Amino acid sequence: MNAQQQTLDQAQGPNGPSTPEAMATYLDANEAITSAALTQLKALPQPDDPELAAIYAEAAQLDQLAAQAAQAARAGDQASFDTLTAQAETVGKKANADSIAYGLDECGKDLNTSNA
């Protein structure tokens, strides 16, 4: 997942997507990567652990926020886009920290620091 995400980010260039449609396409691609990774993780044998379930819920929430932000970008709704991306940033930071605390170091890496 991290390699796919880095490839996607690098394809956007140093300033990221340059139009609302490009941003929506980027968010759709990002959501597809994270959704596939979450599906693969859930397919592994799972402990009955509320902490892990919470991490998965955060990842699912990020996917939902990305899909909503993509819709807002396509609609030209900058205010909603800004709100949704701010929420995603907050959830993403928490998900990364929770993943690392749980021992999922690769899942918790912040890959967005190079494009920030």
Q: Is the pLDDT of residue 4 over 50?
A: yes
The C-alpha angle 26, 28, 30, rounded to 5 degrees, equals: 70
**The pair of three-digit structure tokens given for residue 37, joined into one six-digit string:** 């990774």
Query: pLDDT-derived band of residue 116, with 50, 70 and 90 as boundaries?
Result: very low
**The pair of three-digit structure tokens given for residue 102, joined into one six-digit string:** 């749980």
Cα 59 to Cα 40: distance, rounded to the nearest angstrom: 13
Q: Is the pLDDT of residue 113 over 60?
A: no
Query: pLDDT-derived band of residue 2, with 50, 70 and 90 as boundaries?
Result: low
**The pair of three-digit structure tokens given for residue 97, joined into one six-digit string:** 């920290």
| Whole-structure pTM value | 0.75
Which pLDDT tens digit goes with each residue over 15-25? 888 888 888 98
Cα 27 to Cα 112: distance, rounded to the nearest angstrom: 13
Q: Is the pLDDT of residue 80 over 90?
A: yes
Which pLDDT tens digit goes with each residue over 26-51? 888 888 888 888 888 888 888 888 99
Query: pLDDT-derived band of residue 8, with 50, 70 and 90 as boundaries?
Result: confident
- Provide φ and ψ at 11, rounded to 5°: -65, -20
Residue located via tokens 């139009």: 19
